Amino acid sequence: MKRLETIFVALNGWALILMLSAMTLVVGANITLRYVTAHSLPWADEAARYLMIWMTFGGAGLVLRTGGHVAITNLQDALPSMGQKLLRAGIALGLLVFFGFMVYVGIQYAQRMQYQVTPALRMPFLYVYAAMPVGFALLIAHLLLIARPFIMAGDYKRMDGATADPLPGGANG
């Protein structure tokens, strides 16, 4: 199971690297063409924007794994140990419900947009809006993989598999 998790995280990371590389190449080529030939690619801005959308949704799960999202821990710190665990379990459950709802909403929205095409690339908006349900499904997978250590100890997993403090320097609050 640990090996599958490592492969899953690595694939997620490499997908983000490929998208960032593609965005860099497209924007770089567009800038170069603009200054060398005085013409730019009409689809470059649109492609870069859609790659950024996919990177945002695709990377949210990796950020969740490391505790990189905003967190306010004042209430948790004021509770006894068992109360902290119950609060973290409630947070994890609430996140799972919310992420599941967003997958459902994202699928509906993507399906509604399947017949409209993007202005420059002329591809169905379905491919752009699919980033939302895919990203939230990735969030669900990442949350399920880190839920136990988070609930039990408030720890997050670092990218190298070790655990990290919820906040840099171990300062909570």
3-state secondary structure of 167: coil
| pTM of the shown model | 0.85
Share of the chain above pLDDT 90, in %: 78
Say yes or no to pLDDT of 165 above 70: no
Q: What are the pLDDT digits (tens) for 24-49?
A: 999 999 999 999 999 999 999 999 99
What CA–CA distance (Å, rounded) separates 124 from 118?
A: 6
Please give the pLDDT value at position 169: 45
Q: Which residue bears the tokens 């399947």?
A: 114
Amino acid at 95: L
Please give the pLDDT value at position 164: 54
Q: Which residues of 84-119 are buried (b: 16+ CB within 10 A; e: fewer)?
A: bbebbeeebeebeeebeebbeebbebbeebeeeebe
Amino acid at 167: L
Q: What are the pLDDT digits (tens) for 53-104?
A: 999 999 999 999 988 888 888 898 899 999 999 999 999 999 999 999 999 9
Q: What is the mean pLDDT of the chain?
A: 90
